[in-house]
Amino acid sequence: MNKPKVCVLLAAGINRDYDAVYAFEKAGADVERVHINTLASRRKTLKEYQILMLPGGFSFGDDIASGKVLANKLKYKVLDQVLEFISDGKLVFGVCNGFQIMAKLGLLPGFDGNYKNRLATLTFNDSGKFEDRWVYLKINSDSNCIFTKGINDLLYVPVCHGEGKFVVKDEGVLDKVCSNQQVVVEYVDAEGDFAGYPFNPNGSVQNIAGICDETGRIFGMMPHPEDFIRMTHHPRWTRKDISGDGSGLKLFKNAVEYARENFLLA
């Protein structure tokens, strides 16, 4: 069976690229790490891939603001490729710095197919410090997000960021994100109830941890599902009865399955 091809975007400061590669390979994809300059020079183009992954890290040292420099490089160097990629019905996944980039570029929330309008961002945590811990996430079962399809249990995955607070331009944007069921994952406590700090590690409005566009194909989230792929990634795997794959793997399998069914049909 042919494998969907994934482009994991590289730039200075990105440090979760190999985590993303491992997750997608374990999910059954063929994965390449591709530098932003390679796409900008057209030595490779996004036409070659079915999934674009914007991994975590600190692109360009989070200079100016988290993800801002790389968002601008995408905007002025390869935006035509990105918009064509989206119009072809392909998938884009951004985690942590990737989510920050997507918001600052305007890919999310992407109302009415407009992926160039910046209406949301990720800013400094309310705690005023870097937050590094595991969190519980509730999945919005009414969302049409491709990546979380069929996931009914709470996700337990790590966060690792200093600028993870999701905010929107105004209440109208928040109302539309919610009414469109574009909120995909939300911070909760171990019982699945909404709670404040430290369960919501950054103070995100309405505990929002990740959103998608209206099609469900463009998805960004702050927590790191690629860091819970094997049971041994769990911080208490030696003390708890944990077996099988980590809960984060399902997101990558969903993406690979969607790409295979819609673009390969091998």
Condensed to tens digits (0 to 9), the pLDDT of residues 130-142 reads 999 999 999 999 9
- Hey, which residues does 31 pair with through a beta bridge? 6
> What would the pLDDT profile of 180-194 be if each residue is shown by its tens digit?
999 999 999 999 999
Under 8 Å between Cβ of 157 and 134:
yes
> What would the pLDDT profile of 72-107 be if each residue is shown by its tens digit?
999 999 999 999 999 999 999 999 999 999 999 999
pLDDT for residue 265: 58
* H/E stretch holding 150: none
Q: Is the pLDDT of residue 264 over 80?
A: no
From the candidates 163, 212, 224, 233, give the one annotated as an active-site residue.
Answer: 224
Residue 61, Cβ density class (10 Å: 0-12 exposed, 13-18 middle, ≥19 buried): exposed
Active-site annotation holds for 7: no
- Mean pLDDT (the chain, rounded): 96
Among residues 75, 80, 127, the alpha carbon closest in space to that of 103 is found at: 75
**CATH tag for 5-264 (out of 3.30.420.280, 3.30.930.10, 3.40.50.880, 3.10.180.10):** 3.40.50.880
User: Confidence class of residue 1 from pLDDT cuts 50, 70 and 90?
Assistant: low
pLDDT for residue 240: 80
From the candidates 131, 163, 186, 226, give the one annotated as an active-site residue.
Answer: 226
Strands (E), 83-154: 91-95, 120-123, 131-139
User: Confidence class of residue 62 from pLDDT cuts 50, 70 and 90?
Assistant: very high
Active-site annotation holds for 226: yes
Q: Pick the residue with more confidence: 84 or 63?
A: 84
Under 8 Å between Cβ of 187 and 199:
yes
Q: Tell whether omega for the bond before 235 is within 30 degrees of 0, i.e. cis.
A: no
From the candidates 7, 96, 160, 212, give the one annotated as an active-site residue.
Answer: 96
What is the residue extent of each domain of the chain? 5-264
Q: Record the pTM.
A: 0.96
Q: Is the pLDDT of residue 241 over 80?
A: no
Active-site annotation holds for 35: no
- Give the number of C-alpha atoms closer than 13 A to the C-alpha of residue 103, restricted to the C-beta side: 28
**Whole-number Å distance between alpha carbons of 157 and 223:** 6
- Give the number of C-alpha atoms closer than 13 A to the C-alpha of residue 48, restricted to the C-beta side: 14
Q: What share of the chain has pLDDT > 90, as a percent?
A: 93
Q: Tell me 234's DSSP state.
A: S
